[in-house]
Structure 1
Amino acid sequence: LGGRDPAAEDTESGYFVLRIALTEALKGAVGRGLGAMLPGFIGTIAARFGGPVALKLSAQAAPVVGAAGGAAVNIAFLEHFSGIARAHFTIRRLERVHGPALVKAGYEAIRRGPERA
């Protein structure tokens, strides 16, 4: 109210717009009572602050959405590489028990398929 900053002027004009809107919404409210006045009052406030509040909520939700996406990617990689590690160490165990040549021959038989075995 009286500052030289352009941002302050925007705030000041927003203040006066809200003040005028509330004055219009509250005209005649004394005779009607709180029950009749409240919906119009809330509607006026919601109309004024609905956009900025939605914008703020969406801006604040962006990091949460990013974190959830990152967690989903991490879980996918973890599951994939856990499966690869399980297969690798299963093959290593089979090679220790039965020998590398027999395990490789079994792998080649599976790779060729049943019709060529």
Structure 2
Amino acid sequence: MVVWFPLDYSADFIYLLDIAFHFRTGFLDDGVLQTDPQKMRLHYFNSTTFYVDMLCLLPLDFLYLSLGFKSLLRSFRLVKVYRFWEFLDRTERHTNYPNVVRTVALLHYLFVI
């Protein structure tokens, strides 16, 4: 448990950084790349991605006080797995060696299983 909390809070910090970077990520609007900070912020706030990211950051640590330490309370963090799939998809599309990316992804799936 001594090791769990620092890892847990570092993951929270990484999630906060991810949200901060999402505010600065451009998007396509009718085929035109939008890089205006105000428009990027509004687009992110109005997307389902923002709500999923907020779900991952629910302060469920307070439930540890009443329920005790239950790692199941952290299961909302698994909702962010969509970012991994998005990363794999983009990497496969934009690399010169898509078969290498597919092979590494397949090996990853096999190791997880």
TM surpasses 0.5: no
TM-score by length of 1: 0.35
* Greater relative contact order (CA < 8 Å, ≥ 6 in sequence): 2
Structure ranking higher in strand proportion: 2
In our comparison, the structure showing a higher alpha carbon Rg is: 1
Structure ranking higher in helix proportion: 1
